[in-house]
Structure 1
Amino acid sequence: MRFDACVRLTGGAILAALLAPFLAVTPAAADPDCRRLTHDGSRYSVCTVRTDQDDLRLWHSDSDGRLYGGFGAIDSALREQGQQLAFAMNAGMYHDDRSPVGLYLENGVQSGPLVTRDGPGNFGLLPNGVFCIRDGSAAVIESRAFAANPPSCRYASQSGPMLVIDGALHPRFLVDSDSRFIRNGVGVAPDGKTVHFAISENRVNFHSFGRLFRDVLKTPNALYFDGKVSRLHAPAIGRSDAGFPLGPIVGVAVPAS
């Protein structure tokens, strides 16, 4: 900068100009990218989160052990801290008392063991998997691979079945299956930072839902969260589903507006 141009700046502007090269630029937190799309005749809502920019967490109970159970309770708790819930969905299966089925990790505190054995229901339709949130990254990891080499996760929720495993659909999915429900799940892009959450808006089978993650969202690994009870909180597209209490919930906290 020439001196004759510099002297026309105010004192504050001069200081800002001198300090600018030394200031790190941190991406501002923003609401997740939520949109609606159609694939093979089925409709979906998809929310995309960046773990290097967004405050992605799991919630189940407060510090006194009281179940959150829904999006409103989490949003109320966040607002007491000057934040709000920008996106959320149910994030894994649970027992009648709303305790998680399988591994659950919240802010480093584990409740429930990792389950690697075959079993009844969708959870036991091996291979199942774990959604792991680290500082700045995330992953969907097949449960037995997780057990063999446990990663460091700040948050984790086990569910099943896997929808996509290393680029392939779960081997037991049938293209013409008549088991159709509203379903939701999660997939992580190859960069380990871009996370896609999806919920169907009409009833779909596992094969259709898996192909959404494999062929449209391009996630090499994806995990089924649940069906029938699937719910989404996405104010950006005017949606916040209500219903009976949930177990684990995944979401993004942002500064309150």
Structure 2
Amino acid sequence: MRWLVLGLLALAQEAAADCTRMTFEDVPMAVCEAKAGDDLRLFLKDANGQPYGGFGPVDRALAPRRLVWAMNAGMYQPDLSPVGLYIEDGVQAHGLVTRDGPGNFGLLPNGVFCIGKRFSVVESRAFKVDPPECRYASQSGPMLVIEGALHPSFKPDSDSLNIRNGVGVSKDGKTAWFVLSEQRVNFDRFARFFRDALGARDALYFDGSISRLYAPEIGRQGGGFAIGPIVGVVE
């Protein structure tokens, strides 16, 4: 019986190994995976209406449960409020933005990451016309992969390099991959990692330079300055 218990514990620990490192064209990528049925949530404000601002406050608020892993999940204003659509536990805190504009967010097409009965990344204008049911949603931009094609503005030889993070989803919507480049990359290479290495049909850029990942199992603690929306799996 003792060996059976130990074996089951080992299998449980292996199943809980949600984050890993991969290398794509000599660039190390930290990848965390969520599967259908995982307790994947978005976090913005605490019970007092104040922004969490980081992973530690979220983890403490969940006690006795805990964050398995988490990352920043979309662009935000100086007061840490979302730039675009934000839905948390079925409640919309900020509306959808479909106009173009300066910066990466306004580099259309941008999109929305939606957590509902399945995971999806939906181009923002298509989302406006036919919004899926989202328990959680965060808008950001630009889109990285759109139905298997790269964003039309990306250039393979671009010298715009940055630490970047984003999310991609499988065609069946049962898997979502959350990626942080651990070296500076351009948009084209980052998008191709989602499409060519992970097999994501659609993928969305979350942010760059401020990109952070809390993933203790691969040694990332995600400390630093305050951030806005956060996505993570709860134990």
TM-score normalised by L of structure 1? 0.85
Report the Cα distance in structure 2 between the residues aligned to 1:51 and 1:177, rounded to whole angstroms: 35
Of 230, 237, 241, 2:211 maps to 230
Per the alignment, residue 20 of structure 2 pairs with 35
Matched, 1:106 2:88: yes
Report the Cα distance in structure 2 between the residues aligned to 1:190 and 1:149, rounded to whole angstroms: 18
TM superposition shift of 1:57:
0.1
Of 33, 58, 62, 1:78 maps to 62
Of 58, 69, 84, 2:53 maps to 69
Matched, 1:55 2:36: no
Deviation digits for residues 119-172 of structure 1, max 9, x if unmatched?
A: 10000000000000014x210000001000011100000000000000000000
Per the alignment, residue 158 of structure 2 pairs with 177
Report the Cα distance in structure 2 between the residues aligned to 1:204 and 1:51, rounded to whole angstroms: 29
Per the alignment, residue 221 of structure 1 pairs with 202
Counterparts in 2 of 1:32 and 1:55: CA distance versus 1, 3 Å: farther
Of 129, 138, 143, 2:111 maps to 129
Report the Cα distance in structure 1 between the residues aligned to 2:189 and 2:70, rounded to whole angstroms: 23
Per the alignment, residue 13 of structure 1 pairs with none
Instruction: Structure 2: state its 5+ residue gaps.
Output: 1-11
Report the Cα distance in structure 2 between the residues aligned to 1:33 and 1:148, rounded to whole angstroms: 34
In structure 2, give the amino acid aligned to 1:41. Answer: D
Return the index of the structure with the highest Cα Rg: 1
Matched, 1:140 2:128: no
| Aligned 8 A contact 1:159 1:225 in 2 | yes
| Aligned 8 A contact 1:32 1:48 in 2 | no
What is the aligned length?
223
SS in 2 for 1:141: strand
Q: RMSD in angstroms over aligned alpha carbons?
A: 1.2
Per the alignment, residue 208 of structure 1 pairs with 189
Per the alignment, residue 31 of structure 2 pairs with 46
TM superposition shift of 1:78:
0.6
In structure 2, give the amino acid aligned to 1:70. Answer: G
| Aligned 8 A contact 1:43 1:200 in 2 | yes
Of 110, 132, 135, 1:151 maps to 132
Instruction: Structure 1: state its 5+ residue gaps.
Output: 1-27
Report the Cα distance in structure 2 between the residues aligned to 1:171 and 1:148, rounded to whole angstroms: 22
Report the Cα distance in structure 2 between the residues aligned to 1:108 and 1:241, rounded to whole angstroms: 27
TM superposition shift of 1:241:
1.5
In structure 1, give the amino acid aligned to 2:122. Answer: I
Report the Cα distance in structure 1 between the residues aligned to 2:19 and 2:84, rounded to whole angstroms: 29
| Aligned 8 A contact 1:31 1:87 in 2 | no
TM superposition shift of 1:231:
0.3
**Is 154-163 or 30-39 further displaced after alignment?**
30-39
Report the Cα distance in structure 2 between the residues aligned to 1:209 and 1:65, rounded to whole angstroms: 35
Per the alignment, residue 5 of structure 2 pairs with none
Per the alignment, residue 170 of structure 2 pairs with 189
TM superposition shift of 1:233:
0.6
Report the Cα distance in structure 1 between the residues aligned to 2:104 and 2:36, rounded to whole angstroms: 28
Matched, 1:167 2:148: yes
Identical pairs, percent: 62
TM superposition shift of 1:105:
0.4
TM superposition shift of 1:51:
2.2
In structure 2, give the amino acid aligned to 1:99. Answer: S
SS in 2 for 1:58: strand
Per the alignment, residue 6 of structure 1 pairs with none
TM superposition shift of 1:67:
0.8
| Aligned 8 A contact 1:45 1:198 in 2 | yes
TM-score normalised by L of structure 2? 0.92
